[in-house]
Chains A and B, each alone.
Chain A
């Protein structure tokens, strides 16, 4: 589709012309364009996992969080996963500021280890991959808690963690690229919709 992008030079030119017509409006088109370009130039990859000092989670909890994030949104042939996207750092930051998240995620990680300990006599991280899958398959679906109420805290914990991991991945540079979002740019005109296929 022929969406017309503008070069930086053209933006500055058109915005400057707009500004010349104005004598009283305190609008800063030239600076505006500079600012936006500065921001775009400042794009940087997410902090690599490992070098990060968690603000809320204890080191061992944070290791469990990393493992869970990776399982919720894994890397694949098309892109990196939640870890590469910096989702754990994002979750840690939001949790460090919010008592509700602290209770649900902090408590949820404790609950997970206790549930693994009851079932397998190991913490989640020490469990075999098939055991980890077994417990996650239980708490990843709310219908399981309808059958077994003792799973409810785990289901609620996992629901919040899933949402925040998904948020962390899809708001990252790699996540946005993975979705194929095209935008956040300057257009001289908006072209509307390419032909829509039938339902």
Chain B
């Protein structure tokens, strides 16, 4: 019989998840004076041990390639902090027949903020008013003007570099100065100028100046490995520590939330979780709950929180939980740029990511598709890694002195381009509980259903055409594996692969068609909030993390107000 231990302590707030949403809530709520307990399904993060900053590939046995039988390019390689994985032993998910969906999950303090690209883009005013603009999808129950002060707070605290550009699709923020462009960026910018494609300094959460006690970036280009000086943003290094410093914050690691338990009054009163170390069920009691486990995990937790009062899952009287699942439209290509062969050796590292990007620039004309996309790009003389010359091996084949010399000549001459576009929610893309499968903790798992509609395919086509025109205008050779047909038309990535999955517990003003109000508070259960990207109504081309933090900050302040009024 499972041992059930009930904790006598009642915290003000229990936060489930320690990533962008959970970390932000922890900081705001604990600093605001509330007692906070946080459940994290993974272990603590130890930067000294877990981060491989400044390590050369030849200092580690797999040279940064796949460990333990993984193919050499898989994410989660030897260089990365233990960020998460596409597959987690003992914690499966399933896909419905005909659906291609991949789900990247983290099980560690800080969640996916240890891994993310740190691209920090604000949504634009129009992004909150999609239906009013083009008749598709739904409007958000709040406006850009309501979110903007929270974008300001987040940017001021975490540090985002960028430039004031006054582009309607890409609102300006509170910016640190940007780093100067690398050679690759100089070349692409010049081509974009000729094509009237807007190419501007990127907006990324790395410090180009010291901020709030964190040292400035030292330009090693290795943000993806985790930063020992916390010069890039992660929840684990920037949000959790100030919460801990209040003395009002308790972190429970290795805690896999199973169910939110509801009392007779219809309010949530506890979270039942599995303590992974002892495989025993525990409970933690609180007056309010912030679900921030990542969009799909949060939906899963609500769907698994079934009771007599809420037979279809908590906060799900509308039936929308799990629905409206979207990911970014992604399509990639690259180019060989001969002028880069002539560059003398020089330090090209910069920050760990792009110094420039192309925001959506065709918002002022009629296109073959609705909504838009932005373009990320990168390449050049970065630290050689496993897979660096796969393209050259494949294209030129052969062996011997000529192969060796060709690799040297062509090192750093490739620039890759990635489009990231808006998917419109559709009926066929959602997740639900798989009736046949539980994970090793006995918790029913998610089953994904996925479908790209024509709008997304047309967008991917446009991306490929744009990449080609940029490469060729710059005098390069266009390289793309995308084909118009097949299972990935125009190179469109499978659902979930861009790791911007969201929308599964959406907010709205109508409780019949949404689960949350505009403060991320459940319509059905007033002391439950969902503050991760599950709450999003749409998935604009902007990477979601900055908006997750802004909405979580806003929801947390709202909760603090409620607490002050005594209605917690």
Contacts and interface: CB of A to CB of B under 8 A. Distances in A.
Interface of A: 1, 3, 6, 11, 14-15, 18-19, 21-29, 31-32, 35-36, 39-40, 42-44, 46, 71-74, 76, 81, 86, 90, 93-94, 97-100, 136, 140-142, 158-159, 162-164, 166-173, 175-176, 178-194, 196-199
B337 interface: yes
30 contacts: A6-B218, A11-B218, A15-B229, A18-B213, A22-B212, A25-B213, A25-B237, A26-B244, A27-B237, A90-B65, A94-B62, A94-B72, A99-B69, A167-B389, A171-B63, A175-B384, A178-B408, A179-B407, A181-B381, A181-B384, A183-B221, A183-B347, A187-B347, A190-B349, A192-B180, A193-B181, A194-B343, A197-B343, A198-B475, A199-B476
Interface stretch (B80-88, B146-154, B395-403, B520-528): B395-403
B400 A72 contact: yes
A199 B338 contact: yes
Interface in B178-231: 179-183, 185-187, 210, 212-216, 218-222, 228-230
Nearest to B390: A163
B461 interface: no
A18 B344 CA distance: 34
Contacts of B384: 170-171, 175-176, 179, 181
Contacts of B342: 197
Given A3-B346, A168-B63, A182-B346, A159 B57 contact: no
Secondary structure call for the B interface? loop
Given A72-B400, A94-B62, A192-B182, A3 B347 contact: yes
B71 interface: yes
B339 A71 contact: no
Interface in B49-106: 53-59, 61-72
Given A90-B65, A166-B407, A187-B219, 14 more contacts: A18-B214, A31-B228, A94-B66, A167-B72, A171-B385, A172-B63, A173-B56, A176-B56, A179-B408, A180-B411, A182-B348, A186-B220, A193-B180, A196-B186
Interface in B527-552: none
B347 A162 contact: no
Contacts of A22: 212-214
Interface-centre pick from B56, B349, B404 (highest chain A CB count, 10 A)? B404
B354 interface: no
B345 A190 contact: no
A94 B392 CA distance: 21
A29 B476 CA distance: 42
B404 A98 contact: no
Nearest to B382: A183
A194 B180 CA distance: 11
B416 interface: no
Nearest to B185: A193
A186 B222 CA distance: 11
A185 B221 CA distance: 9
Given A24-B241, A74-B404, A142-B397, A32 B229 contact: yes
A97 B399 contact: no
Q: Which 7 A-B pairs have the closest CB atoms?
A: A22-B213, A199-B475, A192-B180, A32-B228, A18-B215, A24-B245, A180-B345
A167 B388 CA distance: 7
B136 interface: no
B281 to A, nearest CB: 31
Nearest to A22: B213
B56 to A, nearest CB: 7
B393 interface: yes
B339 A199 contact: yes
Chain B CB within 10 Å, residue with most, of A136, A170, A187, A191: A170
B55 A98 contact: no
A12 to B, nearest CB: 11
B350 A190 contact: yes
Contacts of B213: 18-19, 21-25, 27
Given A19-B215, A71-B400, A187-B347, A196 B220 contact: no
B58 A171 contact: yes
Of B210, B229, B382, B385, most A-chain CB atoms within 10 Å: B229
A183 B348 contact: yes
A118 B102 CA distance: 46
Interface string B405-438: 0011001000000000000000000000000000
B69 A73 contact: no
A181 B221 CA distance: 13
Contacts of A15: 215, 229
B293 to A, nearest CB: 23
B347 A159 contact: no
B48 interface: yes
Contacts of A168: 63
Contacts of B309: none
Contacts of A44: 59
Nearest to A79: B404
B167 interface: no
B387 interface: yes
Contacts of A93: 61-62
A28 B228 contact: yes
A72 B228 contact: no
B5 interface: no
Nearest to A143: B397
A168 B385 CA distance: 9
B58 A173 contact: yes
Given A140-B398, A162-B399, A185 B347 contact: yes
Contacts of B351: 190
Contacts of A25: 212-214, 230, 237-238, 241-242
B228 A196 contact: no
Contacts of A142: 397
Contacts of A40: 54
B468 to A, nearest CB: 16
A23 B179 CA distance: 27
B346 A194 contact: yes
Nearest to B397: A141
B229 A29 contact: yes
B391 to A, nearest CB: 10
B222 to A, nearest CB: 8
A24 B242 contact: yes
Interface in B3-62: 47-48, 53-59, 61-62
Q: Which of B185, B222, B388 has the most CB of A within 10 A?
A: B388
